[in-house]
Amino acid sequence: MHEGHEQLFRRRFFVSTLLSIPVLLYSETLQEWLGFSVPAFPGSEWINPVFAVVVFAYGGVPFLRMAAPELKDRSPGMMTLISMAVSVAFVYSLASVFFPTESAFFWELVTLIDIMLLGHWIEMRSVRRASSAVDELAKLMPDTAERVTDDGETEEVSVSELSEGDLVLVRPGASVPADGVVEEGDSDVNESMITGESKPVSKEPDDEVIGGTINGDGSLRVRVGATGEETALAGIMRLVEDAQQSKSQTQVLADRAAGWLFYVAVAAAGLTAIAWTIAVSFNATVVERVVTVLVIACPHALGLAIPLVVAINTSLAARNGMLVRDRIAMEESRNLDAIIFDKTGTLTEGEHGVVDMATVDGVDEDDALALAAAVEGDSEHMIAQAVREAAEERDLTTPDATDFEAIKGRGVRANVDVSGFAGGSSDESDGGDEVYVGGPNLLAQLDSDVPGHLQRFADEAGQNAQTVVYLVREGELVAAFAMADVVREESYRVVDALHDLGVEVAMLTGDSRDVADAVADELGIDTVFAEVLPGDKDETVQELQDQGKLVGMVGDGVNDAPALTRADVGIAIGSGTDVAVQSADVILVQNNPMDVVRLVKLSKASYRKMQENIVWAAGYNVFALPLAAGVLAPIGILLSPAVGALLMSLSTVIVAINAQLLRRVDLSIPDLPEVSPPAGARSAN
């Protein structure tokens, strides 16, 4: 739609401007002002009226047509004002042909239409460019795909022919044709067009890939999981399109202002006509004053002030991994008094990790960790996964384990070949040593004594809200591991950055008060809600709202749905492949809490641009309308309709340029020394 309007106004502007040249050349007023003359010939006196009528019919009538729906709906706005001004100018011009006037008005008429066309062309061009985010997203999806047949060969098919379950080959440098799971191959995939993150993401078997992303140097075979409207990219496109079509509170206010301006313009024109008629009697000067008032009142700049900023804001957010479902929520983000973060998976990694360990004399830490990883080899518990990952990070070789057994509520046991373990002497023939891994309940069951230095290690870990698990070999306690949910490095910067923006930071978690307080103290969080059940999370939001605060809630968009809905601004984080999160107002594609800060900064910057544009547009009318009415006529200052149109269009251009400057907003978060994580402070349970 915008592209069609852009071409219409562009074409009509150039044709009308070309047809206006003879009118300007044969205008006696301009000849007198600029000191030039053109040769006259029989019939040259008709150049001005004939060409002016053609310009009105070609360039002015479209405004009249667009005003018809406004009048039909009894909601006058910008098109109504423009049509009224152009119509009055046209009638005045024709009247000057048959009735004596002080000056001809044709050149004012054509320049008025030309400038209006130029302003609308610029507006449509700017809005079309700002609204191109959806088109850009659509271009990401390839037209064809290489489907793997049953005999292992490949065939080129249209992407629309793919079905769930198909196996496709994604060659190096090609776009992934649909959402799916990697079955074979390793490669780095560029997901920046979806997540905003420029660093390629490593993909291997069982990893998910998103349609429209670009494969790197490796070759992938992907099992299709979603196609067409079900893909993540299609969902993102719907969200971007809906957000661009929605109206913010400021935009609604600007639309209302444009409607009221119609009545103000009519009233001002009426008062101008009465005042000038009383002063000089009714003549062409009175009509000229009335026309000038109507020209000045045209709300080009006001009508452009908000929609253009909104469009640019939405496309900027999308390119930075922020999908806006509710324009009002995006605008309200700048006013947030407090933001509540769900701890696990948001401020922390959501995965337990080994953050420290201690062993008895004569036992090497690597040996102890390898032995524990061997025992935990068959366990799916998150602590077992953390132990195995810690061993993998150290490139440790784990010994063989047999007879695995999970001891409910206490830990796990297995027989492990410890022949290569420090102090070990068993071999495969005797089945290995009996090794246990578990918490304090396991020690109570085994009646194991805790050496003094391991007890001190456990006490210190408890003070830091860390969980301690023990390694017991043949009834002897040989090592202790401190486990914790690792705090994201960026969480330190996020809390400090939000404080710098004047936003209170709160955290809610189902963990114990000691654990929650330890994390809060480490990050500098203001308010802590601990031991909160999933069903009670929305009550914590209500608690802050009852204090008169505007509250934002950051969660995963699924478990935190009630709280996200209750919050003034619900922010779902880490939902890049599930864009249909109905409970959130804003969806952050990347699982990165720093995007919350970017959201607030973008909201503040966008609103600032809206304010600047409204002040310029409305301020222009406030000062220009009295001048157009002739309040300074006694001292010789009068605005002609053409000058009024020129100033009005200049205001429109300035508003458009100012909105485009929003693209330069800096959404980066500086690496300040005071927000770096303290040495050794990396964990939280």
Which of the residues are catalytic? 342
Q: 145 and 162 in contact (C-beta within 8 Å)?
A: yes
Q: Give the position of tokens 């608690």.
A: 543
Of 645, 628, 646, the closest CA to residue 637 belongs to 628
Element (DSSP H or E) covering residue 444 = helix 440-446
Q: Give the position of tokens 């805790």.
A: 450
Cα-based angle 258, 69, 113 (whole degrees, multiple of 5): 65
Question: DSSP characters for 588-654?
Answer: ESSS-THHHHHHHHHHHHHHHHHHHHHHHHHHHHHHHHHHHHTTTGGGT----HHHHHHHHHHHHHH
**Can you read off the two tokens belonging to residue 325?**
């479902």
Q: Give the position of tokens 């070789």.
A: 397
Burial status of residue 617 (CB atoms within 10 A of its CB: 0-12, 13-18, 19 or more): buried
**Can you read off the two tokens belonging to residue 445?**
């069951």
Kindly report the length of the chain.
685
Q: 272 and 293 in contact (C-beta within 8 Å)?
A: yes
SS3 196: coil
Q: Give the position of tokens 């995963």.
A: 556
Burial 355-387 (b: 16+ CB within 10 A, else e): bbbbbbeebeebbbbbbbbbbbbebeeebbebb
Of 304, 311, 305, 276, the closest CA to residue 290 belongs to 276
Question: What whole-number distance in Å separates Cα of residue 386 and Cα of residue 580?
Answer: 31
Query: Within 10 A of 10 (CB to CB), how many other CB atoms are there?
Result: 17
Question: What whole-number distance in Å separates Cα of residue 391 and Cα of residue 369?
Answer: 6
Of 132, 124, 131, the closest CA to residue 6 belongs to 124
SS3 178: coil
Query: Within 10 A of 230 (CB to CB), how many other CB atoms are there?
Result: 14
**Residues in Cβ contact with 479 at an 8 Å cutoff, skipping those fewer than 6 apart:** 357, 358, 359, 360, 363, 365, 368, 369, 371, 372, 454, 470, 471
Q: 507 and 528 in contact (C-beta within 8 Å)?
A: yes
Cα-based angle 279, 282, 284 (whole degrees, multiple of 5): 110
Q: 524 and 500 in contact (C-beta within 8 Å)?
A: no
Chain mean position to CA 522: 29
SS3 175: strand
Beta strands in 361-466 (DSSP E): 401-407, 411-416, 433-438
Element (DSSP H or E) covering residue 266 = helix 249-280
Question: What whole-number distance in Å separates Cα of residue 437 and Cα of residue 472?
Answer: 6
Question: DSSP characters for 53-117?
Answer: HHHIIIIIHHHHHHHHHHHHTT---HHHHHHHHHHHHHHHHHHHHHS--SS--HHHHHHHHHHHH
Q: Which amino acid is located at 55 in the chain?
A: V
